[in-house]
Structure 1
């Protein structure tokens, strides 16, 4: 089917990332990494509120208690919308690193990757952060961790590395009770494909939707890694998709500024499938 994307957010971004749909607020929370800003966009009007972040942000995640947490350079922060304040909940004791992509699972866990802030080195780590804020490294040696998604029904975690020398998406078995992660297996090798693997989301049928950064495309992949569909995006650098809207049938995509225009937040009002509400981090 033909899918049309349009600009939604009233505010542009340098490097838009990590869109998260919150039904209670009818909005998308996201970040502008390079602009060091937290963004909140009304899903209907596109009106966007902006808050400066004290550090370079990487991701937003919804919480069980309402509101969001934000991963930045020195840890995981809660955010108070009333006064725009950030409070560190968990320290990331890794100078020169920052959080990048993240996802949540239906047991209240947060899966978050780190990367170097300057020259890219294989020092990135994927952490499992439990609801009690215990942080456990589960994968090391990453360059640019991305593509995180959890298919709880099938006990499967997706993770990618966007680095130009790696360009790979993996899956690993995930014990939903303990949070233990199995060995990675290659899900998709993107050498020779259009774009490199960036952020991702799952739809209601378990298909993996992947932003192809530098390629102006969003892929829909079956659970076996087969490309089911490709959706052109009016931006060279889409960074991450997210499903939203009351029926979870709208697709929101963050983008990075490029020669095609500024970065920001796009939306397609229908893509022919329904998505999944992202799980909430923390204890119920």
Structure 2
């Protein structure tokens, strides 16, 4: 039996977007509504945090620049930096590309880099009760960086885009919608040269399964791991969409998972600590947990910019 170990009693309002940095042997993640970037170092368990200027939803490391991140905030994509030796404080923030939302009250949500180092991220209306299908998915790579604008991928109606992940060869993209009215995961063919998804098809209908689909990761076998929000589970699906196993965590709302550890064999899971609920049966809500599921993950791709921060040219 695989048991969940609490690694950080972080008490995040919405812990999301965990990213393992092998060079530091450290896990980074965001607390969305508080706009906090957290870091936990495995060798000397300690937590450091930095403050972003807006809500911080998703992030990926900036290639070749330790302490720098591409991130989705409220009104666009940003370059955030804290410096590798920094021990807290405010993040430096430079907006890379604005986003014109369909409605007020929207922000970025889930996002990550494809295997080629382009950043893809979705947006949502924060008022989930409104059930407005105004969510979009944007791409930001070297071309978009040169133009200072995101590309809208026009993937159809979405309420809460989530669960983004890529197959080991990068040729399949996964995307979910977490809204209670949808609860589906789709697969797309993904053109690795252009960064364009196509041929949207149902991968998993999660309506009959426990938990709403939230954040996800892919392991080295090509299986898709996704948090079952509200059910306290993390599900593993095979590449043909078959439910392979479900692992429990001691909180109701696991939010996103990521592989880490020295051998990429630890599945880290962030979680949510909602306001105004009885926490007597889940006092660890908002914490970060570690599972050892017996499989390995894949290194998380970093964002490959048009040019290095110190002037060295890079190609995407």
TM-score by length of 2: 0.85
**Structure 1 CA distance for aligned equivalents of residues 220 and 168 of structure 2:** 12
Q: 1 or 2, which has the higher strand percentage?
A: 1
Aligned counterparts, 1:233-272, within 5 A: 233-257=249-273, 259=279, 260-261=282-283, 262-268=285-291, 270-272=292-294
User: Which residue number in structure 2 is paired with residue 108 of structure 1?
Assistant: 117
**Structure 2 CA distance for aligned equivalents of residues 171 and 263 of structure 1:** 29
**Structure 2 CA distance for aligned equivalents of residues 29 and 92 of structure 1:** 25
TM-aligned CA distance change 1:75 to 1:3, over 3 Å: same
User: Which residue number in structure 1 is paired with residue 302 of structure 2?
Assistant: 280
**Structure 1 CA distance for aligned equivalents of residues 157 and 45 of structure 2:** 39
**Structure 2 CA distance for aligned equivalents of residues 108 and 256 of structure 1:** 28
| Partner of residue 135 from structure 1, selected from 125, 150, 155 | 150
- Deviation string 1:211-269 (CA, Å, 9 cap, x unpaired) is 0000000011100010111101111100111000121011100000153133021112x
User: Which residue number in structure 2 is paired with residue 60 of structure 1?
Assistant: 59
TM-score by length of 1: 0.94
Alpha-carbon distance, 1:10 to partner: 4.9
**Structure 2 CA distance for aligned equivalents of residues 278 and 170 of structure 1:** 21
Alpha-carbon distance, 1:192 to partner: 2.0
**Structure 2 CA distance for aligned equivalents of residues 76 and 111 of structure 1:** 10
8 Å CA contact retained: 1:100, 1:115: yes
**Structure 1 CA distance for aligned equivalents of residues 38 and 91 of structure 2:** 11
8 Å CA contact retained: 2:114, 2:170: no
TM-aligned CA distance change 1:57 to 1:140, over 3 Å: farther
Alpha-carbon distance, 1:32 to partner: 0.6
Which stretch shifts more, 194-203 or 2-11?
A: 2-11
Alpha-carbon distance, 1:73 to partner: 0.3
**Structure 2 CA distance for aligned equivalents of residues 154 and 42 of structure 1:** 29
| Partner of residue 91 from structure 2, selected from 81, 84, 87 | 84
8 Å CA contact retained: 1:148, 1:157: yes
8 Å CA contact retained: 1:56, 1:73: yes
The reply on whether 1:185 has 2:229 as its aligned counterpart is no
8 Å CA contact retained: 1:10, 1:46: no
Aligned counterparts, 1:207-246, within 5 A: 207-246=223-262
Number of aligned residues = 282
- Deviation string 1:37-86 (CA, Å, 9 cap, x unpaired) is 11111134441111222111111111212332221001111222146322
TM-aligned CA distance change 1:281 to 1:250, over 3 Å: same
- Deviation string 1:64-116 (CA, Å, 9 cap, x unpaired) is 12332221001111222146322212212224321100121121111110001
**Larger CA Rg, structure 1 vs 2:** 2
User: Which residue number in structure 2 is paired with residue 122 of structure 1?
Assistant: 133
Alpha-carbon distance, 1:8 to partner: 1.2
TM-aligned CA distance change 1:272 to 1:31, over 3 Å: same
**Structure 1 CA distance for aligned equivalents of residues 156 and 123 of structure 2:** 10
SS in 2 for 1:182: strand
